[in-house]
Structure 1
């Protein structure tokens, strides 16, 4: 079993999970592998399955592939961020979704007073990414 706790920001949405600050959430192995090493999260593997010979022999090996996958994480992020949202789509999005997207773009949702400021930030960041090719 794997868990993750959001330790920075207010909310974060990834792979169908919405994380809220300081709330522990049970996650699947693939989500654990994706989030482990992310500075916004504290991820833990709580138990090692007894019937899994790979983890029985060397339980620390699970940590090494996760660390090696960190560069892959950077490769995957631009693919997820390639979706360019229009102002209308952002207005239809709930506050949690907007804030999670702000975190994905490297912003701090607590800096914005209202929906208009959140949307302006997202649109500006998307334009910057298009110009830089990220």
Structure 2
């Protein structure tokens, strides 16, 4: 069993989970591996029996960057999708893109930031 707590920012959305500041949440192993080492999270592995065959052959260390790469792929949101989102969903996307949601006064500014940063990431990835 794995748990994660968001310790920086207001909200954070990753792999189908939406985290809110200081709220502990049970997560799957792949989410734990993705978030472990992220400065925004405090991650814990709990209750791992010593004789559990599922964990005996698994490395305890963090996966290499190569193994993490596919998980880090960002979803590209359209303007319509962003307008349909609630404020905390937009803020979670902003955090995923490395922004600070408190810097934006309204929905239009949040959406503009997300669209602009998605374009920059697409260009950087080419």
TM over 0.5: yes
Q: Matched residue of 1:42: which SS?
A: strand
List alignment gaps of at least 5 residues for structure 1.
Answer: 62-69
Contact 1:3/1:45 (<8 A) preserved:
yes
With the length of structure 1 as denominator, give the TM-score of the two structures: 0.76
What is the CA distance between 1:34 and its match in structure 2?
A: 1.4
Q: Distance in 1 between matches of 2:14 and 2:92?
A: 8
Instruction: Count residues with an aligned counterpart.
Output: 126
Deviations 1:19-55 (A, max 9, x none): 0011111112221111111111000112222431576
Q: Which has the higher helix share?
A: 1
Q: Which runs of 5+ in 2 are unaligned?
A: none
Alpha-carbon contact 2:34-2:71 (below 8 Å) kept = no
Shift, 1:130, TM fit: 2.5
* Contact 1:2 1:43 (8 Å CA) reproduced: yes
What is the SS of the residue equivalent to 2:64?
helix
TM-superposed CA distance for 1:91, in Å, is 0.3
